[in-house]
Structure 1
Amino acid sequence: MLFDPPLQPARLIARYKRFLADVVTPAGETFTLHCANTGAMTGCATPGDTVWYSTSTSLTRKYPHSWELTETQTGDWICVNTLRANQLVREALALQLIPELSGYDRCQAEIKYGSEKSRIDFLLQAEGRRNCYIEVKSVTLLQQGKGYFPDAVTLRGQKHLRELSTVAQAGHRAVLLFTVLHSGIEDVSPARHIDAAYAEQLVQAHKSGVELLAYQASLSTSGMLINKSLPIAL
């Protein structure tokens, strides 16, 4: 996935109201950009970090600039635009970059399923193979050298685990794919210290047949690509 044109840098002043952030460019211009991330963004939005942003050509947007990447003061790279996770996975599926999910010839996105009226991120199908339901989660929380999900209590995430468990018990493939968008993360664990209920439900979902995968993306100001499998520690 390429950024065209390449991203531009600015220094973060502050993030606020969840969707907004003030930045200052190297030339001294200060402006507000849009932040497509509803999470806590712990460790991803420290004042003084370098923000790399894209600019929309739309004339109707109030905030034409979008926060894409953070370059932290310790040298880590983080994709904070959570919309990019599904785009990266869609590309990886098309290019067969995830061996565990290769060999399917049909891929649909945002398909309604389940008794709790959910939408699965991706449904893979192929003649003679079980349907494969994939839920994508973006991982950006790094603490004490470990990667964690979630970074805040997630009732929606718990619902997704219930839906995936039901799918697995019905005989289909059910996959929870952690898309790691932080260069400093080397493995992924459930964040029991943040959402104990989610962590326990994740363990039970895995026991019920839900497959767990973690793949990291390489990040740069010109583009991103899923390219590395990471271990998951329950």
Structure 2
Amino acid sequence: MKYQNCVLARFVNRDNRFVARARLADGKEVVVHVKNTGRGKEVLLPDAWVSLNYCPSPKRKTDYDLVAVKKGNQWINLDSQLPNHLAYEGLKSGKIALPGIKGSLTLLKPEVKYETSRFDLYYETDQEEKGFVEVKGLTLENLGIGAFPDAPTLRGQKHVLELTDSQKAGFKSYVLFIVQFEHLQLATIHSEMQPSLRDALDAAQKSGVQVLAYNCQVTPECVTVKEAIPFDLDYPFVDPNQ
């Protein structure tokens, strides 16, 4: 994924979940749309470098989207719409693999309803296998560990519960974390943030749902899926915001 019109700026402050302010190189302060409703308190700090995608339109209230922030020496992509795109293209190209399936993908369809959820991807293979892939973007990092979520998500928990139902009904289903940065040792669940999500994922894994994580190479204007990384449900995570 490559953004076409990125400029670097310094972060000023976040007015609310969707709106922030940043300072361009010429000193002008601009209002920007934050493409992530997560808290991001550990990275969206005053004077942090951010990448703004310039996309003016009469239908928009702002001319810029905040798509990435620099933390230390690495960029973290914050675009919550990006993981689904990366997952779809990664599965189509073979860059992302679904362990356990025997065949090759013959169908990959986004946004398919099951029970009361709409899962991100539905697939079929030439060996008559079928299942769902629920994609989650992961942007929270501390001490080389990536964790999900950075804010409670009842919607995400519902998806995990219904993925478990799909697995029991004969589908082969997956949770896929797209880690929107590169340098980390493994991914885990932020159990203290949402213990019930950890328990739902534990039950899902025991039912056969597999949890995958892939990191990404990130620059201010480009994001590329890199490789599979370990996922450990109960690895201890230290919240950088506490």
TM-score, normalised to structure 2, is: 0.90
Match of 1:113? 114
Contact residue 107 and residue 123 of structure 2 kept, 8 A: yes
Q: Which residues of 2 match residues 45-124 of structure 1 at below 5 A? A: 45-72=44-71, 74-100=72-98, 103-114=104-115, 117-124=116-123
CA distance in 2, matches of 1:121, 1:44: 27
SS state at 1:71 partner: strand
Give the residue type in structure 1 aligned to 2:3: F
Match of 2:33? 34
Contact residue 51 and residue 221 of structure 2 kept, 8 A: no
Give the residue type in structure 2 aligned to 1:3: Y
Gaps of 5+ in 1: none
CA-to-partner distance for each residue in 1:56-113, whole Å, 9 max, x for gaps?
Answer: 14222111210111012x1221111111111111221222111227820211111111
Contact residue 77 and residue 184 of structure 1 kept, 8 A: no
Match of 1:156? 155
CA distance in 1, matches of 2:192, 2:144: 15
Deviation at 1:146, TM superposition (A): 1.5
Match of 1:184? 183
CA distance in 2, matches of 1:219, 1:170: 38
Worse overlay, 20-29 or 92-101: 92-101
Match of 2:124? 125
Identity level (%): 29
Gaps of 5+ in 2: 234-242
Kindly tell me the number of residue pairs found equivalent between the two proteins. Answer: 230
SS state at 1:99 partner: coil
SS state at 1:100 partner: coil
CA distance in 1, matches of 2:206, 2:223: 33
SS state at 1:105 partner: strand
Match of 2:223? 224
Deviation at 1:33, TM superposition (A): 0.4
Alignment of 1:25 onto 2:63: no
Deviation at 1:181, TM superposition (A): 0.5
CA-to-partner distance for each residue in 1:90-140, whole Å, 9 max, x for gaps?
Answer: 2212221112278202111111112xx110100111232311200001111
Contact residue 104 and residue 126 of structure 2 kept, 8 A: no
Compared with structure 1, are the counterparts of its residues 42 and 207 closer, same or farther at alpha carbon in structure 2 (3 Å cutoff)?
farther
Contact residue 12 and residue 50 of structure 1 kept, 8 A: yes
Give the residue type in structure 2 aligned to 1:210: V
CA distance in 2, matches of 1:178, 1:93: 13
CA-to-partner distance for each residue in 1:34-71, whole Å, 9 max, x for gaps?
Answer: 01211112423111111101111422211121011101
CA distance in 2, matches of 1:23, 1:210: 41
Give the residue type in structure 1 aligned to 2:110: A
Compute the RMSD of aligned alpha carbons.
Answer: 1.5
CA distance in 1, matches of 2:3, 2:174: 28
Contact residue 33 and residue 66 of structure 1 kept, 8 A: yes
| 4+ residue runs over 6 A deviation | none
CA distance in 2, matches of 1:222, 1:66: 12
CA-to-partner distance for each residue in 1:203-231, whole Å, 9 max, x for gaps?
Answer: 11100111110001111133211111110
TM-score, normalised to structure 1, is: 0.93
Deviation at 1:145, TM superposition (A): 2.8
Give the residue type in structure 2 aligned to 1:95: S
